[in-house]
């Protein structure tokens, strides 16, 4: 469970990234954060694993306030939180296996990991997770030999290898084409269902948000302006969140292309 | 349509014309000044004795003393060893200095500057000057050459390395950080895979330069083939100088080719 208690974040240049956020995200939920770029979606998601540090309030992850954690405590909490990025963030010159197994680093001793010694279980776990996203045949390929969609699947496998309680995905499909986007979202949804991993995804495509979310949180100018189950959401809700009428570019489309 | 299409006239500024004239005059003045102050004695250059010397010495270069090959090759290998050991040491010493200079690794501007000053200071010394210092310090032997090459190369490699580090993809570091990896693990899993091939490529390139540099270090007594050059030159043994030059040229060319091949495969 994640609990935001009056969380605010003011950047050093005075920009308010988050304004008095107060909400709870329950175990196993699939939450999609929507909003225009600059609305604070990224700041929201990055606060949860402290890639950015809110300036006030408390943020409980698994009953621990991550805003107070530092050093070893912070790293231990972060091992429970997997993160997927828009630009995949794989080490391009390393093999797929090495990228995926780097998800175990938080659980592995410094010296053994530097010497590249991982237990058999860890290696098998990495392989199993690659199988889950159907990319196991690329095990020994270099990451830069893969297409964007394949790289994003590898990054999902890396996150799974971390055995997280929670997955954060910051615009995971923004660099992908429509069919591949749906494929990636389907894997995320499937993992959320099967492993009961709480999943929080930033998206700006309203059709994808509607299709995959259990719950939608709308943000504008650092504030939560909508929070409710996907059944309560209509096109009008999005118009209110975005503060303008819906345009074509707000839809990803392409689900029937598969 | 296209026949009527004309390019808008390029805006002219009188200032740029004046600027060009002024720059031209300044360059011409510097040129004239340097030539006049050098006191080149054209009469001796274009005298009969020059032609005589040319006639006497140049042909001897082309009759290299083949019988000295064994000795020369031995010294050439010593030169290569000096270059190799020196470059290897520099390739390693430069790494921590490069991290110190890289602003994305050490965010303290003051420490960055200290690193830059060290590397800049080291780069200011030509190898031959460093060699003179080390010959004085550790005596006239190849070890002095190794030290000179190592210190001299560190300056350049450190600078190039730090530029490589500054150009890496920091998002990968962020991803590893987000998964709970510690700083050392990030270094080995996020940073080294991105920078090591480039580091190696620069180190090999520097080795190429060091082979050339260490060929002349012997002139000041720091070991290698330069020692032979000095002796042969002092004895006016031009056939041997010719042979030495031939060996150096062939070796350097071979090393350039090999290093170019490896570097192409690396990145």
Residue with tokens 């064994």: B70
Does residue B16 lie in a domain region?
A: no
Does residue B61 lie in a domain region?
A: no
Does residue B39 lie in a domain region?
A: no
Most trustworthy range by pLDDT among A238-247, B81-90, B223-232 = B81-90
How far apart CA B124 and CA B156 sit, in angstroms, is: 10
Q: Identify which has the larger pLDDT, A252 or A28.
A: A28
Does residue B235 lie in a domain region?
A: yes
Q: What pLDDT band is residue B223 in, cutting at 50, 70 and 90? A: confident
Residues 6+ apart with CB under 8 A from B190: A91, B172, B173, B175, B176, B181
pLDDT at A129: 93
pLDDT at B2: 54
Percent of chain B with pLDDT over 70: 98
Strands A30-34 and A198-202: parallel
Average pLDDT for residues A6-24, to the nearest whole number? 92
- Of B176, B196, B181, the closest CA to residue A155 belongs to B176
> Are the beta carbons of A102 and B172 separated by less than 8 Å?
no
pLDDT at B206: 94
- Of A110, A90, A214, A111, the closest CA to residue A159 belongs to A90
Q: Which two tokens stand for residue A71?
A: 């050093």
Find chain B residues with C-beta within 8 A of A94's C-beta.
Answer: 189, 193
Average pLDDT for residues B70-82, to the nearest whole number? 92
Residue among A78, A87, A92 minimizing CB distance to B179: A78
- Of B152, B167, B159, B119, the closest CA to residue B267 belongs to B167
Supply the ipTM of this predicted assembly: 0.86
The DSSP-derived string for A187-245 is HHHHHHHHH--EEEEE---HHHHHHH-SEEEEEETTEEEEEEEGGG--HHHHHHHHTS-
pLDDT at B7: 86
How far apart CA B189 and CA A91 sit, in angstroms, is: 8
Average pLDDT for residues A204-227, to the nearest whole number? 91
Bridge partners (DSSP) listed for residue A60: A3, A65
pLDDT at B45: 79
Percent of chain B with pLDDT over 90: 58
Residues 6+ apart with CB under 8 A from B58: none
Does residue B33 lie in a domain region?
A: no
Whether residue A258 is predicted with pLDDT greater than 50 in this model: the reply is no
Residue among A98, A106, A110 minimizing CB distance to B179: A106
pLDDT at A86: 92
Find chain A residues with C-beta within 8 A of B188's C-beta.
Answer: 113-114
Q: What pLDDT band is residue B87 in, cutting at 50, 70 and 90? A: very high
pLDDT at A56: 92
* Number of domains into which chain B is organized: 1
CA-to-CA dists, residue B141 to B211, B214, B216, angstroms: 17, 13, 14
- For B188-195, which contacts have Cβ atoms below 8 Å and span 24 or more sequence positions? B188/A113, B188/A114, B189/A91, B189/A94, B189/A98, B189/A102, B189/A105, B189/A113, B190/A91, B191/B165, B193/A91, B193/A93, B193/A94, B194/A91, B194/A92, B194/A93, B194/B168, B194/B169, B195/B161, B195/B164, B195/B165, B195/B168
For the segment A221-255, what is each residue's pLDDT rounded down to a tens digit?
A: 999 999 999 998 888 888 888 888 888 888 887 66
Give the domain CATH number at B142.
1.10.3720.10
How far apart CA B213 and CA B260 sit, in angstroms, is: 18
> Are the beta carbons of B189 and A102 separated by less than 8 Å?
yes
- Tell me the nearest-neighbour CA distance from B266 into chain A, angstroms: 11
pLDDT at A257: 44
Question: How does the average pLDDT of chain B come out, rounded?
Answer: 89
> Are the beta carbons of A91 and B190 separated by less than 8 Å?
yes
Residue among A89, A94, A114 minimizing CB distance to B175: A89
Q: Which two tokens stand for residue B187?
A: 């270094």
> Are the beta carbons of A81 and B178 separated by less than 8 Å?
yes
Q: Which of B171, B172, B177, B180 to mutate to test the interface with A (most CBs of A within 10 A)?
A: B180
Find chain A residues with C-beta within 8 A of B193's C-beta.
Answer: 91, 93-94
Under a CB-based contact definition with an 8 Å cutoff, are residues A217 and A203 in contact? no
- Tell me the nearest-neighbour CA distance from B132 into chain A, angstroms: 41
Find chain A residues with C-beta within 8 A of B199's C-beta.
Answer: none
- Tell me the nearest-neighbour CA distance from B168 into chain A, angstroms: 10
For the segment B190-221, what is each residue's pLDDT rounded down to a tens digit?
A: 999 999 999 999 999 999 999 989 998 988 98
pLDDT at A255: 60
Q: What pLDDT band is residue A153 in, cutting at 50, 70 and 90? A: very high
pLDDT at B172: 92
* Residue in chain B nearest A168 by alpha carbon: B178
Q: Which two tokens stand for residue A178?
A: 């429509």
Does residue B44 lie in a domain region?
A: no
How far apart CA B203 and CA B205 sit, in angstroms, is: 5
Find chain A residues with C-beta within 8 A of B266's C-beta.
Answer: none
- Tell me the nearest-neighbour CA distance from B75 into chain A, angstroms: 40
Phi, psi (deg, nearest 5) at residue B166: -70, -20
For the segment A63-77, what is each residue's pLDDT rounded down to a tens digit?
A: 889 999 888 889 999
For the segment B135-147, what is each residue's pLDDT rounded down to a tens digit?
A: 999 999 999 999 9
- Tell me the nearest-neighbour CA distance from A212 into chain B, angstroms: 24
The DSSP-derived string for B130-164 is HHHHHHHHH-SSHHHHHHHHHHHHHHHHHHHHHHH
Average pLDDT for residues A95-106, to the nearest whole number? 92
Element (H, E) at A20: strand A16-25
Residue-number span of the structural domain to which B207 is assigned: 67-266
Find chain B residues with C-beta within 8 A of A92's C-beta.
Answer: 169, 194
Q: List for chain A the helix, strand, coil content (%; round to 5).
A: 40, 25, 35
> Are the beta carbons of B180 and A114 separated by less than 8 Å?
no
Does residue B52 lie in a domain region?
A: no
Does residue B30 lie in a domain region?
A: no
How far apart CA B128 and CA B217 sit, in angstroms, is: 6
Average pLDDT for residues B2-21, to the nearest whole number? 79
Find chain A residues with C-beta within 8 A of B195's C-beta.
Answer: none
Phi, psi (deg, nearest 5) at residue B168: -75, 165
CA dihedral defined by B141, B142, B147, B150, rounded to 10 degrees? 170
> Which strands sit side by side in the sheet containing A16-25, from one edge to the other?
A16-25, A2-10, A56-61, A64-65
Q: Which domains does chain A have, with CATH numbers?
A: 2-197+212-221 (3.40.50.300)
CA-to-CA dists, residue A35 to A45, A51, B9, B224, angstroms: 13, 20, 47, 69
> Are the beta carbons of A158 and B190 separated by less than 8 Å?
no
Q: What is the 3-state secondary structure (H, E, C) of B194-237?
A: HHHHHHHHHHHHHHHHHHHHHHHHHHHCCCCCHHHHHHHHHCCC
Question: How does the average pLDDT of chain A come out, rounded?
Answer: 90
> Are the beta carbons of B179 and A102 separated by less than 8 Å?
yes
Q: Which two tokens stand for residue A167?
A: 């997955």
């Amino acid at each position: 469970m994640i609990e935001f208690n009056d969380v605010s974040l003011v950047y050093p240049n005075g920009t308010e990234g988050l304004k008095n956020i107060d909400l709870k995200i329950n175990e196993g939920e699939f939450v999609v954060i929507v909003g225009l770029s600059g609305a604070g979606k990224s700041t929201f998601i990055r606060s949860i694993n402290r890639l950015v540090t809110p300036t006030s309030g408390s943020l409980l992850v698994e009953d621990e306030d991550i805003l107070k954690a530092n050093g070893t405590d912070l790293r231990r909490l972060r091992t429970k939180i997997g993160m997927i990025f828009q630009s995949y963030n794989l080490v391009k010159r390393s093999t797929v296996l090495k990228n995926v197994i780097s998800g175990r680093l938080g659980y592995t001793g410094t010296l053994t990991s530097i010497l590249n010694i991982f237990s058999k279980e860890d290696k098998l776990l990495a392989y199993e997770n690659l199988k889950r996203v159907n990319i196991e045949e690329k095990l020994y390929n270099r990451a830069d030999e893969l297409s964007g969609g394949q790289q994003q699947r590898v990054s999902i496998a890396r996150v799974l290898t971390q055995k997280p309680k929670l997955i954060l995905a910051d615009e995971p499909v923004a660099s992908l084409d429509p069919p591949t986007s749906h494929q990636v979202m389907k894997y995320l949804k499937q993992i959320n269902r099967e492993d009961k991993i709480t999943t929080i995804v930033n998206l700006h495509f309203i059709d994808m948000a509607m299709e995959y979310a259990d719950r939608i949180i709308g943000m504008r100018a650092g504030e939560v302006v909508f929070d409710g189950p996907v059944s309560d959401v209509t096109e009008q809700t999005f118009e209110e969140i975005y503060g303008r009428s819906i345009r074509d570019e707000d839809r990803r489309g392409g689900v029937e292309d598969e | 349509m296209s026949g009527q299409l004309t390019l808008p006239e390029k805006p002219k500024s009188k200032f740029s014309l004046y600027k060009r004239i002024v720059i031209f005059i300044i360059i011409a003045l510097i040129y004239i000044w340097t030539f006049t102050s050098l006191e080149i004695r054209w009469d001796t250059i274009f005298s009969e004795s020059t032609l005589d010397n040319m006639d006497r010495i140049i042909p001897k270069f082309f009759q290299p003393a083949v019988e000295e090959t064994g000795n020369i090759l031995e010294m050439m290998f010593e030169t290569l060893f000096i270059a190799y050991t020196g470059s290897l040491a520099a390739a390693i010493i430069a790494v921590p200095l490069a991290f110190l200079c890289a602003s994305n690794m050490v965010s303290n501007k003051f420490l960055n500057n200290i690193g830059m000053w060290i590397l800049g200071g080291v780069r200011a010394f030509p190898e031959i000057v460093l060699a003179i210092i080390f010959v004085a310090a550790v005596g006239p032997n190849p070890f002095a050459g190794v030290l000179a090459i190592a210190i001299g190369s560190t300056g350049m490699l450190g600078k190039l390395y730090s530029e490589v580090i500054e150009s890496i993809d920091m998002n990968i570091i962020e991803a590893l950080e987000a998964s709970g990896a510690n700083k050392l693990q990030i270094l080995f899993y996020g940073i080294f895979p991105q920078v090591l091939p480039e580091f190696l490529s620069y180190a090999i390139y520097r080795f190429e330069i060091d082979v050339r540099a260490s060929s002349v270090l012997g002139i000041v007594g720091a070991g290698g083939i330069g020692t032979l050059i000095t002796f042969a030159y002092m004895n006016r043994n031009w056939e041997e100088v010719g042979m030495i030059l031939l060996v150096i040229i062939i070796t350097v060319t071979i090393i350039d080719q090999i290093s170019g091949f490896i570097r192409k495969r690396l990145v």
